[in-house]
Structure 1
Amino acid sequence: MIDWQVNPDYATGEAGTAFASLDAVFALQGERVTVDPESEVIRLRLDGILYYVKRYTIGRRKLARRWFGLRDLFGPQRAVKEWRNLQRFHAWGLPTATLVAWGQERRGGRFVRGALVTEELRDTVDLAQLAKRDDPRLRDRAWVAVVSTQVAACTRAMHAHGFVHNDLKWRNLLVTGGEMPQLYLIDCPNGGFWMQPFLGYRIVKDLACLDKVAKYALSRTQRLRFYLDYVQRQRLTAADKRRLRRILAFFAGRE
């Protein structure tokens, strides 16, 4: 059975034809961006607009890593989780890529393949690229403050819903150009809901992922300001200090 949906705003023109069905999407040719054993991302331009197409298959991962085949039957698929998480972000008012088309094919209840299509976020670059090339914007305190406040607000909103990103790295945070940058969240196939006591650990992991690059690219004052914005307090509490120690120690010995 194939379940495929197209955003009505993209149901006409070249995009409407290219993304009309799951078969059509898997037949598309474009520039390959990334590839792994279970998925690939290509990009192509239609009617002057750039689209990113992510296609998932069962892949060649070891059987044990796929729960001896049970994950294809019972487990939530990365493709499904990714488009559902994008929909959640939109519902929560968090800026993210526009979902153009999405769906999957199952046979006998088992996942076979899936795909999602998003529209390009124009004039954006991920924060990891800025850090890698030592972009002067990261030395502009006003610019950093604008971006940091947005990252804190988005992270706080996710965590307030009991949701964690699980891959909240700088490469998954895009910003636009200009003096007033706009932040966008992307790539969240591993995000999900957790309950305590597991939620607390996962929140620490999200915050530690953000700090993994921040500790090299930003000052201690900027990192502290981010955390205070995140918790919406002017000063650290004893609980905050305990959490910060866990954040700082999270990746110790693993880098």
Structure 2
Amino acid sequence: MKRDVSARIVLNVSEPADLVFAIAVARQYESVDERFEASVGGEPVPHHELSDAHGTRLHRLQAGAGELVVEYQASVDDAAPVPDAGETELLVYSRPSRYAESDSLLPTAAAEFGGITQPSDLLAAVSSWVGTELAYVSGSSLVTDGAVRTLLARQGVCRDYSHLCIALLRSLGVPARLAAVYAPGLSPMDFHAVAEAWVDGRWCAVDATTLAPRSTLVRIATGRDAADTAFLNIVSGRAELVDISVSAVADSLPYDDVTQLVSIT
């Protein structure tokens, strides 16, 4: 499946800033036709690429004061699933984290899903339960909200849905993590977040929002939760988001059966 993705981010840099962007597609896509450009006042801003502890591609740059425009685009085809996870990696994604407080949600997970033994049934049950319990309301959550607060509020956006799925799965002994993605079919278009669970020797996508077919997703960043996968981190200096536009188009939008195990490729 061919997919074309792009992002354009405009920042008002009020004092020189050290910025890190996570908007490039992951390295699992072998054939990538891409472009990353940054400029202030029309003048190019140098940048360099690095990888974080979870393998996410990052672009870091030093921007002077002014209007910073960052543009990215890429075309990708299907790629191989992410390689097998090692024991240490699975342990990292089994522990409670900042936004996925699995220890606090253990009683809820046990009460709702304790009798489900089949992995595919468990993922479908968690996804459906979260999708039923929460209302998708744009702007309803704070950037500091974790899974517990999301469940109490009974509303949120994609990252909140994902954090709750991750916390519940970890509570049940299933390693789970967050993936930031480009999502063809998403409306309104934006960056998207889904959970991933380690089942039957592979990472399987769990999207309780059901807003885009999982088979069309293009991985950007991977991590324990949103703390590891933000599209922008301001290391120092000051910058304010002025505008953001995201595009993701696939040559087909297949039906997504939530009872089936699907990996992000």
> Which structure has the greater CA radius of gyration?
1
TM-score norm. by structure 1 comes to 0.25
Hey, which of these two has a bigger chunk of strand by percent?
Answer: 2
TM-score, L = length of structure 2:
0.25
Relative to its length, the structure with more helix (as a share) is 1
The higher relative CO (CA closer than 8 Å, separation ≥ 6) is in 2
